[in-house]
C-alpha cells in the first residue's frame, strides 16, 4: 500500500517532464515542496525548459529537481534512477502525441507509448513503487453517445493509433490491480489542454506543423502562418464548428498535484475527467485569441476531417468531490496566457 507522506518527504518521478503538460506539472510540484526526478529523452522537448522551470520556482525549490536525459524504454537507466532515488510515485507523461503522425507511423507509436509504459511499470514493480498517475485522454470516449461525458461513459474504439495507445495503456494499468491490489493507479482523462504559465516562460512548443487548434492559432497570431484552417462548419453546433472542452494547462497541472495528494495511502484504480465542463467552438476560440492579441485572425473553412467528433465536453463532478479540484480559468484567460507565451517566444524555445 502507498504511504501517506508530506510533499517534502515525497519523491515523484515525472516521465516526459520537459513536455508541455509535464513541465507545468513539475512547476506545481516543486512549488508544493515535492522532490521531483524528471526523465525525458528530449525528442519532442527542449533543455531550455529546465532553465525556465528554475526561473519560475526559484533556486531553493529547484534544488529538489533532478533531471535525467533518457528514454523511458531504457530499463537499465530506469533501474539506476530507482536505485539512486527513493521514488514514492510516478506521473507518466512520456509518449508520442501527434494524432496525424500516429496514422502514418503506427508501429513507432505502439512501440514507444506502450513499450515505455511496460518498461516503467516493470521497474516500478521490482522497486516496490506501485503508485502511478497516467496522462490519459478523452479520446478514449470516441464519438460520445451523450454529453457531458462522465467517467462512466463507455470507452469507444479509437479512431487513430495515438488514441489506441491511450486506450490500451489504461487497460494495462487497470489490469495491474487485479493480481496485486497494492497497486495505486489514477487515470486522468484530459480534454483539450491549452494556455501557458502566466509568466510566459514556458508553454506549448510543437515541432513542425501544430496538430492542435490553439498552437496553430498562436502561430497565425505571431505571423508564422497565414491563416487558421477550420475543418468543417456544418456540424450540429451553434456556429457549425466543432465544440471542445478546453482546459488551462495550469488547471491541469493542479489536477495532477490534487490526484497525487488524494491517492497517498490508497490502493486500487480510479479514473478522473479533467476539463472545465464547458464547450467552446473553433470559431469562439479564434475570436477569444483575436481579443487576446488585439487583432482579427484570418481563417479559412476546409472540409471536415475524418475522425473528428461534433462536440465533446466533460462532467468533472467526480474530480471536484473526491480531489477537491475545479478548473479556475475560462477561455479568455487560456488565450491570454497562450498569447503571452507565444508573443514573448515567437519561435518557441528556439527564441
Residues acting as catalytic residues = 162
CA dist 180 and 184 (Å) reads 10
Cis before 116 (ω within 30): no
**Nearest of 134, 87, 84 to residue 113 by alpha carbon:** 134
**In the numeric block, which cell numbers belong to residue 54?**
528554475
Amino acid at each position: 500500500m502507498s504511504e501517506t507522506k508530506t510533499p517534502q518527504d515525497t519523491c515523484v518521478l515525472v516521465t516526459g517532464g520537459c513536455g508541455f503538460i509535464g513541465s507545468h506539472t513539475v512547476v506545481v510540484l516543486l512549488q508544493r515542496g515535492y522532490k521531483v526526478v524528471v526523465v525525458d529523452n528530449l525528442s519532442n522537448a527542449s533543455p531550455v525548459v529546465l532553465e525556465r522551470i528554475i526561473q519560475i520556482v526559484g533556486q531553493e525549490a529547484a534544488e529538489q529537481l533532478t533531471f535525467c536525459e533518457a528514454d523511458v524504454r531504457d530499463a537499465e537507466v530506469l533501474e539506476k534512477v530507482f536505485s539512486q532515488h527513493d521514488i514514492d510515485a510516478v506521473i507518466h507523461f512520456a509518449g508520442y502525441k501527434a494524432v496525424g503522425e500516429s496514422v502514418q507511423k503506427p508501429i513507432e507509436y505502439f512501440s514507444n507509448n506502450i513499450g515505455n509504459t511496460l518498461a516503467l511499470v516493470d521497474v516500478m514493480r521490482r522497486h516496490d513503487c506501485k503508485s502511478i498517475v497516467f496522462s490519459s485522454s478523452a479520446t478514449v470516449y470516441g464519438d460520445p453517445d451523450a454529453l457531458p461525458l462522465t467517467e462512466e461513459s463507455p470507452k469507444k474504439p479509437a479512431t487513430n493509433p495515438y488514441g489506441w495507445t491511450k486506450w490500451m495503456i489504461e487497460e494495462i494499468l487497470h489490469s495491474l490491480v487485479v493480481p496485486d491490489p497494492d497497486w495505486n493507479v489514477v487515470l486522468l482523462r484530459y480534454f483539450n489542454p491549452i494556455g501557458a504559465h502566466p509568466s510566459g516562460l514556458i508553454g506549448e512548443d510543437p515541432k513542425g506543423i501544430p496538430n492542435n487548434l490553439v498552437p496553430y492559432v498562436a502561430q497565425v497570431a505571431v505571423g508564422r502562418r497565414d491563416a487558421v484552417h477550420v475543418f468543417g462548419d456544418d456540424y450540429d453546433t451553434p456556429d457549425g464548428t466543432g465544440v471542445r472542452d478546453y482546459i488551462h494547462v495550469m488547471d491541469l497541472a493542479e489536477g495532477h498535484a490534487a490526484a497525487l495528494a488524494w491517492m497517498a495511502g490508497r490502493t486500487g484504480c480510479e479514473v478522473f475527467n479533467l476539463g472545465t465542463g464547458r464547450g467552446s467552438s473553433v470559431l469562439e476560440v479564434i475570436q477569444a485569441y483575436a481579443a487576446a492579441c488585439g487583432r482579427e485572425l484570418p481563417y479559412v473553412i476546409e472540409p471536415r476531417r475524418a475522425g473528428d467528433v461534433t462536440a465533446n465536453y466533460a462532467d468533472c463532478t467526480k474530480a471536484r468531490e473526491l480531489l477537491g479540484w475545479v478548473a479556475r480559468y475560462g477561455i479568455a484567460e487560456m488565450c491570454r496566457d497562450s498569447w503571452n507565451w507565444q508573443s514573448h517566444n515567437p519561435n518557441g524555445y528556439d527564441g
